[in-house]
Amino acid sequence: MSAEPTVKRLMAPNITALKTVRPIVSLTSYHAHTAAIADRHCDFLLVGDSLGMVMHGFETTVPVPLDLMIMHGRAVVRGAKRALVVVDMPFGTYEESPSAAFRNAARVMKETDCGAVKLEGGRRMAETIHYLVERGIPVMAHIGLTPQSINVIGGFKTQGRTKAEWAAIEEDARQVAEAGAFAVVLEAVAAPLAKRITAAIPIPTIGIGASANCDGQILVMEDMLGLSPRVPRFVKLFGKVGAVIEEAIGAYAADVRSGVFPGPEHAYEMKPESASAGAGTAGATPPKGRGTAPRPRGARAAKGRPRR
Ligand code: KIV
C-alpha cells in the first residue's frame, strides 16, 4: 500500500454532505489545463456531454460517443487533484437496461478514474440509478430540461413554468433521491419549483438556469468565460476570454506578417565554439529538418518542446 495522497480528492458523499452547509460550486471542464484551474475553486467538475456542442461542433448532445467522454474524462482527472470529477453518460449508453448502464458506467469509472457518473432522466431512470449505486457507482441525476431528449421535447425549453408541470418534475426529484443519487442537476427549471424541490429532497440540487434557490450551481465553463458565441439567458459572463483570444491571435498574425515576430530573443544562436569550429567545414553532415541551420544542442527539451 502506498503512502496517503497529500491532497484528498472529494467524493460523492462529501458533495451530498454540503447540502444546507454552504453553496456547492461546480463547472463543466473538458481538458486538463482548465481542470487544473477550476480545481482550485470548485467542489466538483463535470465532464458534460455538452462537450459535443462546445468542443466538437455538434448541434445537440445526441451524437456524442462514449469513447469521447472517456478521452475528455481522463484529461480532466489528470488535471484536477482535489475536486470530484463527474463524467456524463452520453445518449444511448444507459437507457436500455440497468445492466447495459452498469457495463458502460463501469467502463467510464475504470478508464477515467472519475468519482461518479451523471445521467439524464427522473422516474424513468430510478431503477437504473438504484442498480448502479448498489454496485458501487455514484450517480448524479439530471432532471428538468434534459438535452439528450431534445428530439422529443422539441427544443431547449424551460421546465415548470406552469403549475400543471410541477407534480411530474417533483416526482422525478423525489424518485432519483430515493433511488440513491448523491445530487441532482435541475436544468432550466422555474425558480419557485426549484425552491420547492430543494426543500423537499435530502440530496443537493445543482442548478443551471434554476435560480439561487438550489443548493449549488453549475455553468458550462466556456459560456461563463465568454468563449461561446451564443449563451442562454441564465448565463452570467464572468470573463471576455473570446475577445482576449481574438486580440492575441490578431496581434500574432500582424507581427508575423510585418516581420516583428520572431525577434532575435525568440531565436537560437550557435554556441560560440561550434560557430567557430563548424564555420566553413567542408563535407559536414547536413542537418536534419526544414532549414539549413544546424539545430543547437539543447534547443529541444523533454517531450519535444523547445526549452523556454
Ligand atoms: O453536459 C453538460 O454540460 C451538463 C450541464 C449542463 C449540467 O449536463
- Give the residue whose CA is nearest to atom 8 of ligand 1: 48
Show the low-confidence residues of the chain (pLDDT under 50). Answer: 280-304
Specify the pLDDT at position 140.
99
| Closest CA to ligand 1's atom 5 | 48
- 61-64 own/partner pairs: CB under 8 Å, 24+ apart: 61/90, 61/91, 61/147, 61/148, 61/150, 62/91, 62/148, 62/150, 62/151, 63/91, 64/90, 64/91
Quote the pLDDT of residue 4: 62
47-89 pLDDT, tens digit each: 999 999 999 999 999 999 999 999 999 999 999 999 999 999 9
Give the distance (Å) from ligand 1 centre to CA of residue 185. 8
Q: At residue 272, what is the residue type? A: P
Confidence (pLDDT) at 273: 85
Query: How far apart are the C-alpha atoms of 14 and 218, rounded to whole Å?
Result: 17
Any idea where the domains of the chain sit in the sequence? 12-240
187 is catalytic: yes
* d(C-alpha 297, C-alpha 70), whole Å: 39
Entry pTM: 0.88
Q: How far is the CA of 8 from the centre of ligand 1 (A)?
A: 25
pLDDT in tens, 185-195: 999 999 999 99
Ligand 1 pocket by C-beta < 6 Å: which residues?
Answer: 28, 46, 48-50, 88, 142, 185, 187, 208, 218, 220
Contact indicator for 59, 53 with CB cutoff of 8 Å: yes
Asked if residue 224 lies in contact with residue 32, where contact means CB atoms within 8 angstroms, the answer is: no
What distance in angstroms lies between residue 131's CA and the mean position of ligand 1's atoms? 23
| Burial class of 165 by CB neighbour count within 10 A (0 to 12, 13 to 18, 19+) | middle
* C-alpha to C-alpha distances, 9 to 14, 22, 35, 52, 102, nearest whole angstrom: 10, 18, 13, 27, 24
Active-site choice (187, 222, 247, 265): 187
The predicted pLDDT at position 296 comes to 43
d(CA 308, CA 301): 9
- pLDDT of 282 reads 45
Q: Is 112 helix (H, G, I), strand (E, B) or coil?
A: helix
Residue 82 burial (CB count, 10 A): 13
What is the predicted pLDDT for the residue at 6? 64
Identify the CATH assignment for 12-240 out of 3.20.20.60, 3.20.20.140, 3.40.50.460, 1.10.10.10.
3.20.20.60
Assign 170 to helix, strand or coil.
helix
CA distance 159 to 169: 8
